[in-house]
Amino acid sequence: MRIDIISAVPDLMVSPFRTSILKRAIEKGLVNVYFHNIRDWSSNNYRQIDDAPYGGGAGMVMMIEPLDKCISELKSQREYDDIIYLTPDGITLNQKIANNLSIKNNLIFLCGHYKGIDQRVRDLHITKEISIGDYVLTGGELAACVLADAVIRLLPGVLSDEQSALTDSFQDDLLSPPIYTRPESYKGMKVPEVLLSGDPNKIDAWRHDQAVRSTTEKRPDLLGDEE
Ligand code: 6GU
Q: Of residues 205 and 172, which shows the higher confidence score? A: 205
Q: How confident is residue 163, by pLDDT bands cut at 50, 70 and 90?
A: low
Q: How remote is the CA of residue 34 from the centroid of ligand 1, in Å?
A: 21
Q: How confident is residue 114, by pLDDT bands cut at 50, 70 and 90?
A: confident
Q: How confident is residue 160, by pLDDT bands cut at 50, 70 and 90?
A: confident
Say if residues 134 and 31 touch (Cβ distance below 8 Å): no
Cis-peptide into 183, omega within 30 deg: yes
Position 164 scores a pLDDT of 76
Position 227 scores a pLDDT of 41
The CATH number of 167-223, from 3.30.70.3340, 1.10.1270.20, 1.10.357.10, 1.20.1300.10, is 1.10.1270.20
Do strands 61-62 and 50-51 pair parallel, antiparallel, or not at all (unpaired)?
A: antiparallel
Position 225 scores a pLDDT of 56
Burial 127-159 (b: 16+ CB within 10 A, else e): ebbbbbeeeebebbbbbbbbbbbbbbbbbeebb
pLDDT over 70, % of the chain: 98
210 lines ligand 1 (CB under 6 A): no
The mean per-residue pLDDT over the stretch 23-44 comes to 96
The domain locations on the chain are: 2-152, 167-223
140 lines ligand 1 (CB under 6 A): yes
Q: How confident is residue 22, by pLDDT bands cut at 50, 70 and 90?
A: very high
3-state secondary structure the chain: CEEEEEECCHHHHHHHHCCHHHHHHHHCCCCEEEEEEHHHHCCCCCCCCEECCCCCCCCCEECHHHHHHHHHHHHHHCCCCEEEEEEEEEEECCHHHHHHHCCCCEEEEEECCCCCECHHHHHHHCCEEEECCCCCCCCCHHHHHHHHHHHHCCCCCCCCCCCCCCCCCCCCCCCCCCCCCCCCEECCEECCHHHHCCCHHHHHHHHHHHHHHHHHHHCHHHCCCCC
Q: How remote is the CA of residue 12 from the centroid of ligand 1, in Å?
A: 14
Cα–Cα distance measured from residue 89 to residue 130, given in angstroms and rounded to the nearest whole number: 8
Q: Which atom of ligand 1 is nearest to the CA of 133?
A: 10
Q: What is the pTM of this model?
A: 0.94
Q: Is the pLDDT at 165 greater than 90, yes or no?
A: no
- Per CATH, which fold does 2-152 belong to? Alpha/beta knot (3.40.1280)
Cα–Cα distance measured from residue 75 to residue 13, given in angstroms and rounded to the nearest whole number: 23
132 lines ligand 1 (CB under 6 A): yes
Q: How remote is the CA of residue 188 from the centroid of ligand 1, in Å?
A: 44
Say if residues 81 and 100 touch (Cβ distance below 8 Å): no
Q: How remote is the CA of residue 129 from the centroid of ligand 1, in Å?
A: 10
136 lines ligand 1 (CB under 6 A): yes
59 lines ligand 1 (CB under 6 A): no
Q: Which of 39-53, 67-81, 129-143, 150-164 has the lowest mean pLDDT?
A: 150-164
Q: Which atom of ligand 1 is nearest to the CA of 140?
A: 2
Q: Of residues 47 and 160, which shows the higher confidence score? A: 47
Cα–Cα distance measured from residue 171 to residue 185, given in angstroms and rounded to the nearest whole number: 31
60 lines ligand 1 (CB under 6 A): no
Cα–Cα distance measured from residue 128 to residue 110, given in angstroms and rounded to the nearest whole number: 10
Say if residues 157 and 24 touch (Cβ distance below 8 Å): no
Q: Is the pLDDT at 103 greater than 60, yes or no?
A: yes
Q: Is the pLDDT at 224 greater than 90, yes or no?
A: no
